[in-house]
Amino acid sequence: MVLTPQALATGAFCPHGDFAIAGAAQGPLKGLTFAVKDIFDVAGHVTGGGNPDWLARHGPATRHAAAVQALLDAGAGILGKTITDEFAFSLNGQNLHYGTPKNAVTPDRIPGGSSCGSASAVGHGIVDFALGSDTGGSVRIPAALNGIFGIRPTHGAVDIAGVMKLAPSFDTVGWFARRADILRRVGDVLLPLDGAGIVPARFVPVEDAFELADAPVAACVRAALSRAAAALPLQTAIDLAGGLGGLGEWLRRFRRLQMREIWAAQGAWIEANNPKFGPEIAERFAMTKAAAATPPGDDAEFRAKVAAHLDAVLGRDGVLVMPTGATIAPPLKMSAEQLAHFRDRTLSLTCIAGLARLPQVQIPAGLVEGAAVGLSLIGPRGSDRALLALAERVAAKLG
């Protein structure tokens, strides 16, 4: 397994090593290839975390991350490691040190992050699937922007041992695929069985999510839902967040919670080593440090209320239906205002599953101005396999 010039031209793969590893001779994923985001340990190699200072100051991993080992044991082979935003702390997919992987649909626009290289590698057809992580949207958003499938599992459903921490109560192991059946097959290896009594039967549009999205994006997702109506018969839309302050308030709480956890996880190393970060990443770590120095308030209690609210809305048979992102991918040379607009409105949607620790599957929905748009399904806690099977049925209707 050798990276071809075509693969290297995507800018998706890490330059610091040959990570090709053959999978087991037999297994349910035999013959498939995958890529690994560079926050997952691969035995014998240093995990780079998207930052040269981190790479230089750590030793090689002594064992594979649990998810990597499971996939190798299932017969899939690693083709390479992929570029990530520094410390997995951005939605852009632009790395000051290693470059920007190409968006597989619109090369003049950002690929989305932080699992940018993994999404690019899958979107360009270099590998069959790829591992990423999703803390604030880092699988769901690059999957949507690259026109591919992706999943953020129920928090804790996939073993995260051997993966670099960002915000542990939000961190999840996710993955990408160009085909819904491959996304499901990977889930058959990595995921536990679903909780008892989970049968998706109520499909509920999230009206406040559609209202937040740009009108062409919302229209594209609604058109896809119309085409998939046989697999996804919709009930009356609901205002999901209005009773708890609205999505803007959910985002504010989400950010404060994450920033505290991020500084707790990485602040000591950053203070001791003073690594060189890109300007945006440096600014965001400064914000996490400042947030960690303030009283916690009732953010944890608010998160518990959101989770209880979503549990009540979903029950054991509900599925929330919504746009994955609020906008199309911004241009590579976006202004600070464009970046803030993209980030705030995107996180206002991705924080829903993150706050409640719920699974979410992204499905390609179509194009707006030539750029990819996605629709998402959020299910009850522990409904991951049912969501993947549902996504496969929806994808068949969408062609």
Residue 336 has pLDDT above 90, yes or no: no
**Do residues 14 and 39 touch, judged by C-beta distance below 8 A?**
no
Tokens encoding 347: 């996180």
Report pLDDT for 11.
Answer: 97
Residue 3 has pLDDT above 90, yes or no: no
Residue 366 has pLDDT above 70, yes or no: yes
Stretch 101-108: mean pLDDT: 98
Per CATH, 5-190 and 202-398 having the same topology is answered: yes
* Active site amino acids: 37, 114, 138
Domain 202-398 has CATH 3.90.1300.10: yes
Rounded CA-CA distance 116/90 in Å is 10
Rounded CA-CA distance 267/28 in Å is 41
- Closest by Cα among 349, 358, 350, 356 to 386: 358
Alpha-carbon separation of residue 206 from 4, 23, 307, 324 (angstroms): 43, 41, 16, 11
Mean pLDDT score across all residues of the chain: 97
Report pLDDT for 1.
Answer: 60
HSE-up of residue 131 (Cα within 13 Å, Cβ side): 33
Strand 33-37 to 129-134 pairing: parallel
Alpha-carbon separation of residue 65 from 138, 159, 162, 173, 376 (angstroms): 18, 9, 4, 11, 28
Residue 44 has pLDDT above 80, yes or no: yes
Residues in the chain: 399
Instruction: Flag the least confident range among 66-75, 209-218, 332-341.
Output: 332-341
- DSSP calls for 346-396: HHHHHHHHHHHT--EEEEEEEEETTEEEEEEEE--TT-HHHHHHHHHHHHH
Instruction: Flag the least confident range among 35-39, 155-159, 333-337, 375-379.
Output: 333-337
Rounded CA-CA distance 397/262 in Å is 40
Q: Place 213 in a pLDDT band, splitting at 50, 70 and 90.
A: very high
SS3 state of residue 303: helix
**Do residues 169 and 208 touch, judged by C-beta distance below 8 A?**
no
Give pTM, 2 decimals. Answer: 0.97
Residue 258 has pLDDT above 70, yes or no: yes
**Do residues 82 and 64 touch, judged by C-beta distance below 8 A?**
no
Report pLDDT for 9.
Answer: 95
Domain spans of the chain, in order of start: 5-190, 202-398
Stretch 230-245: mean pLDDT: 98
Contacts of 304 (CB under 8 A, 6+ apart): none
Name residue 313's amino acid: V
Stretch 264-277: mean pLDDT: 98
**Do residues 194 and 384 touch, judged by C-beta distance below 8 A?**
yes
Domain 5-190 has CATH 3.90.1300.10: yes
Contacts of 101 (CB under 8 A, 6+ apart): 10, 11, 12, 82, 83, 93, 111, 116, 117, 119, 120, 121
Stretch 354-367: mean pLDDT: 98
**Do residues 98 and 55 touch, judged by C-beta distance below 8 A?**
no
- DSSP calls for 80-147: EEE--SGGG--SS--BTTTB-PPPSS-TTB---SSSHHHHHHHHTTSSSEEEEEESSSTTHHHHHHTT
Strand 129-134 to 172-177 pairing: antiparallel
